[in-house]
Amino acid sequence: MKNIVVFASGYGSNFQAIIDAVEAGKIKASICGLIVNKPGVTAMSRANKHHIPLKIMNPRDFRDADLYSEAMLQQLLEWKPDLIVLAGYLLKVPEKVVNAFTGRIINIHPSLLPKYSGKGFYGLYVHQAVLENDDNETGCTVHIVDNIYDNGPILAQARVPVHKGDRAEDISKRVREKELEVFPDVIASIINKSY
């Protein structure tokens, strides 16, 4: 059985979609851990409900960045993930971790990369930029994580229309619905092809 570790920062709707796909047998793997960067987020209650081990790793809780990245790396080595999935994780993964799991960390981003990428482009900020630039479509992108924000090779993209009169919240809802379809599919194709 393959192992997946998920990183999340908030509500955890993509995390839940991954849990559902694992429990349905669509993704032939076990979720062996969840890492969150702050206490009290809804993703934690989802992990608890499904008996998934969980670790809070906030960089502010460590004396320096090296200790933080080493602690994260050690936790991951203990869990032995075949794939690390960033599901709404808002922090940059430490370089030491990315280098240790090269090609085995994926992220979903709420735009059609390379548009609206990099530090500060997350959530409604992305969708507001779509509106300000009068784009007639947007979407989401699943990509491999490297040491530059939103930069690694693209694995899949899904497009959604932008309608006249849309607010950022309208676009967010449409993109999120697409994410919940696409992300489990990509994870399944990565995990299942190795069987």
pLDDT of residue 15: 98
CA nearest to 9, candidates 46, 50, 61: 46
Residue 195 has pLDDT above 50, yes or no: no
Better-scored residue on pLDDT, 192 or 32: 32
Q: Considering the entire predicted model, what is its pTM? A: 0.95
State the pLDDT at residue 69: 97
Instruction: Answer yes or no: is pLDDT of 34 > 50.
Output: yes
Q: What would the pLDDT profile of 91-121 be if each residue is shown by its tens digit?
A: 999 999 999 999 999 999 999 999 999 888 9
pLDDT in tens, 58-81: 999 999 999 999 999 999 999 999
Q: What is the mean pLDDT of the chain?
A: 96
163 has catalytic annotation: no
What is the reported pLDDT for 194? 54
Per the CB < 8 A criterion, the answer to whether 187 and 85 are in contact is yes
- 135: closest CA among 118, 111, 156? 111
CA 193 to chain centre: 20
Closest to 157 in 3D by CA, of 194, 123, 107, 192: 107
Q: What is the pLDDT of residue 187?
A: 98
Residue 108 · residue 117 · CB < 8 Å:
no
Contact, 184 vs 145, CB < 8 A?
no
Strand stretches in 24-180, DSSP E? 29-36, 54-56, 83-86, 105-109, 137-144, 154-161
Whether 146 has a pLDDT exceeding 70, the answer reads yes
Q: Of 109, 127, 143, 163, which is the active-site residue?
A: 109
pLDDT (tens digit, 9 = 90+) per residue, 151-171? 999 999 999 999 999 999 999
Based on DSSP, count helices (H) and strands (E) in the chain, helices before strands.
6, 7
Cβ 128 vs Cβ 87: under 8 Å: no
